[in-house]
Amino acid sequence: MMNASICANLCFICDKELSVESECVSVKAKGITNLINSSKARFNNKLKSLVNLENVLVHKDCRKNYTRPDTIRKCVNEKEGTSNISPVKENCLFCDNECSKELEKKFSKERRDSIIQVSTLHFKTSIMDVANKRNDEWGKEVLKRLDSVVCLVSEESKYHKSCERKFCSKNPVDKNKKRGKPQDEDLANAFLNVCDFFESENECQFGLNFLHEKMEGTRDEKTLKNKLINKYGDDIIIRTSRGKKSIARKRNTHDNINTCE
């Protein structure tokens, strides 16, 4: 179902004509979700033009600039008339204490914590789900911090790896949940280690078998694949081809639709 508010001959981002085919790209459902999130982060009304669209034609460069975190941040700062750094950018999302590599360098290597910068739009939703399930004071504090930020990626939000691990692996037990086999805490921690590696590395894709080897104790690659999809949702692409090894690829706001859709 196409939205009549978008002119088929104009790029909705720059409002200029889509005259050169090689400079244009057709954005489909998942890419449109990314455009909508970027529009929300920019506090503009362009997202209204994207409602109910199955695909939209835009300039390639416009799409990249529109969804790039640094241009979103610049746009927001210009609208607010300030370049002040958000507290969420300076402090850990979970413990609300200073979160910087410079500070960690002051500690001995044994005491240093890893600093992870949020790189996917899905991360916020994932942590909000965990916070709601916790339904405790810590969860409420984290929700409050998350609600104060529109886009964690554009704000360059960070967190301590140990804090995320504690927050996500120590959820209160649901009293209404049927009793069964207790969760293997070692397996859960192994998966968190894989996630830390996946998020912190500069490489955009890894062999699923490689990640499986790093996660000691898991039964098979299928289990790891399902856990990755459950955690990252649309922010991860796992491709499987007959006769070839499965590939897990990051999807973030820098991705070009030609390589990620």
Q: Which two tokens stand for residue 165?
A: 């691990």
Retrieve residue 64's tokens. 């990249």
Terminal C-alpha separation, the chain = 20
The answer to whether the CB of 62 falls within 8 A of the CB of 13 is yes
What is the three-class DSSP state of 184?
Answer: coil
Report residue 103: phi and psi, to 5°.
-65, -40
Q: Under CATH, domain 185-250 is a member of which superfamily? A: DNA replication factor Cdt1, C-terminal WH domain (1.10.10.1420)
Q: Which of 155, 178, 183, 156 is nearest to 168 (CA)?
A: 183
pLDDT digits (tens, 9 = 90+) for 21-61: 889 999 998 888 888 888 887 777 777 778 778 889 999 99
Express each pLDDT in 157-205 by its tens digit: 889 888 888 888 754 544 344 444 444 556 676 777 777 777 766 667 7
Q: Which two tokens stand for residue 174?
A: 């649901």
- Containing H/E element for 75? helix 69-80
How many Cβ atoms from other residues are within 10 Å of residue 74's Cβ?
Answer: 13
DSSP code of residue 8:
T
Domain ranges of the chain: 24-82, 101-168, 185-250
Residue whose structure tokens are 């005259």:
19
| pTM of the predicted model as reported, rounded to 2 decimal places | 0.41
